[in-house]
Structure 1
Amino acid sequence: MPSLSFIELKDLQIAARIGTYGPDDVVPDAHILDLTLTISTHLVMVPRDEMALVFDYDPLIRRIDTLARAQHYETQERLITRIVEACAQYPQIEALDICLRKRPVLSGTGTLGVRLIVDGEAMTVLRNAMS
């Protein structure tokens, strides 16, 4: 039996408005989210093909989309914080790794991202702080 299970969301372009830019600044044309959720193996190694036995990630994806569209953010870090807080509301999520990237960075090239890894202990602390 596997000891770790993950749900991986990669390269999701979200409709976020982030940052304030001057006339000579490079304005990103995309914000891309990578999110890896650590969940119990019991939610992956299932005895039957039933949605009730697995983690339904669709509501979380809708929540992320709502958060991204909700307001103008000054920083990527604030949007990441709000997404992590949304993830913490799901007890099935034991830990996570999130990265939010923007592109381009310079001369039409490159990506720049902010990554946060929340382990199980930190997730528990966050949940306790939110309750």
Structure 2
Amino acid sequence: MSDYIYNYYLWTGFDRIYKSSLLYSKIDYATILIIQYYRQLKALYNLGGRKVALFGLAQLGCTPFMVKRRSAVGKPCSVLVNDAEYVFNNRLKTLVDGLNKLKPDARFTFINTTSILQKKEGKL
């Protein structure tokens, strides 16, 4: 989550602290994060981890922090931010499916946080 909030979308006045969103498209950035995630999961597996739950990103574009900084006037959420996390979550789900095929002695589970929160709020 903080890779998006603090590294991809953070602004300080007119200057960006991180230039990630200028250097990478939302698809490329999600791919870079998933590659790093895969490396960490592989290391965890090599250390004996066999049951791992991976939580997708919630709708970060609907957090007060992002609404204040990134949403259009009068909009409750930043569509731009939510679109980027949608790309990440799809890549994460694909990673989990692939790991379960590649490592049949382990169980990786994708938890769709956005879906859970929407159900709780009665949106689905």
Q: Please tell me the TM-score bracket, short chain as reference.
A: 0.3 to 0.5
- TM-score w.r.t. structure 2 length? 0.36
In the superposition, the TM-score normalised over structure 1's length comes to: 0.35
Q: Which has the higher helix share?
A: 2
Structure with the higher strand share, 1 or 2: 1
